[in-house]
Amino acid sequence: MGIEETSTEVILTDPNDSTTKVKVLKYGATVFSWELKGEEQLWLSSAAKLDGSKPVRGGIPLVFPVFGKNLNDEHLSKLPQHGLARNSVWEFLGQVKANPPTIQLGLGPEFANPELTKIWPFEYSLVLTIELGAEYLKTAIEVLNTSTTQNLKFNWLFHTYLKIDDIEDTLVSNLNNTLLYDQMLTESYIDRQPVISVHEELDRVYQNVDDDRIIQVIDKGHPIHTLKRENLPDAVVWNPWVEKSKGMADFEPKDGWKNMICVEPGHVHDLINLAPGDNWVASQVLYKDDLKFQSV
């Protein structure tokens, strides 16, 4: 109960309810399971690598310092898709609070993947705080530019894989009338549809979404996931559908796309530019709520 650490994982359990727990892999500081009252909330591929040989396919991988591939920035363009945080072993910094169980993990260039650090030689310190409430899971990030001379330019994103019953019965709400970049069409437009429904591969970056827009994932009229963001203006919505899933070796079962949708709060439409010594903080909270239709 409480907080248990092994050589590779940290497990937090609600002190009042042993059926509510979160499992975090030190590799990538990846939350790979969140059970709320005995029910798993996150999707995890049955072929996901949890041995540190590859970023985890599922849960909440962390994207830093680049979202996707950056073709323009001199330094970020050298990094692989989604950067180096999800493929580095983070340091367990310990418990912050016993109730709600709260822990921190940290990453800096001294721990990060050495190959990737060579090609992106910047000074930074990341602190991820994971708080397991009785009814919610909060993940918060602080990025500190530890350099005294150089600015730190980066993206941040929580690549949250949510578990759902059936993609064809699922809607994502409260992102309507928002400018988006459609990564399938490579075009920007305003989404005029009242809700998002998925009928083929979908890969969209909704941009500059106010923090007061509460994103919900709705299953046959019932909200099954509610997501609150702080200082994360963008939201990626992604489902790989049939063909893309076939092409990902660590995506199993092959029809697993029916049972997942990624809703990924981040700051990705442009780069955060931190002056030496400055810090930046952001968070996401996953919880349950009644239907909140914020038509705008």
Total residues binding ligand BG6 (CB under 6 A): 9
Q: What are the tokens at 8?
A: 């590779």
* Amino acid code (one letter) for 81: Q
**264 is a site residue for ligand BG6 (CB under 6 A):** yes
Among this protein's residues, is 75 annotated catalytic?
no
The minimum distance between CB 87 and ligand BG6, in angstroms, equals: 10
By CB under 6 A, name the one of 23, 26, 82, 258 that touches ligand BG6.
82
Binding characters for ligand BG6, 181-220, by CB under 6 A (x = yes) = --x-------------------x-----------------
**Pairing verdict, β 30-36 and 39-40:** antiparallel
Rounded Cα distance, 154 and 275, in Å: 12
Nearer to ligand BG6, 148 or 199 (CB): 199
By CB under 6 A, name the one of 32, 161, 181, 238 that touches ligand BG6.
238
Binding characters for ligand BG6, 120-159, by CB under 6 A (x = yes) = ---------------------------------------x
The minimum distance between CB 275 and ligand BG6, in angstroms, equals: 28
Nearer to ligand BG6, 20 or 88 (CB): 88
81 is in an annotated binding site: yes
Rounded Cα distance, 266 and 16, in Å: 32
Q: Give residues with Cβ within 8 angstroms of 6, minimum separation 6.
A: none
Among this protein's residues, is 264 annotated catalytic?
yes
Q: Give residues with Cβ within 8 angstroms of 185, minimum separation 6.
A: none
3-state secondary structure of 198: coil
68-99 as b/e: b if 16+ CB within 10 A: bebeeeeebeebeebbbbbbbbbbbeeeeeee
Binding characters for ligand BG6, 31-70, by CB under 6 A (x = yes) = -------------------------------------x--
The minimum distance between CB 150 and ligand BG6, in angstroms, equals: 27
213 is in an annotated binding site: no
Q: Which residue out of 159, 187, 199, 269 is catalytically annotated?
A: 159
By CB under 6 A, name the one of 116, 236, 263, 271 that touches ligand BG6.
236
Identify the CA nearest to 265 among candidates 27, 62, 89, 30.
62
Contact 67, 35 (CB under 8 A): no
> Helix H segments across the chain?
114-119, 241-247
DSSP string, 140-159: EEEEEE--SS--EEEEEEE-
The minimum distance between CB 283 and ligand BG6, in angstroms, equals: 18
57 is in an annotated binding site: yes
How many Cβ atoms sit within 10 Å of the Cβ of residue 276? 13
Q: What residue ranges bind ligand BG6 (CB under 6 A)? A: 68, 81-82, 159, 183, 203, 236, 238, 264
Q: Which residues are identified as catalytic?
A: 159, 264
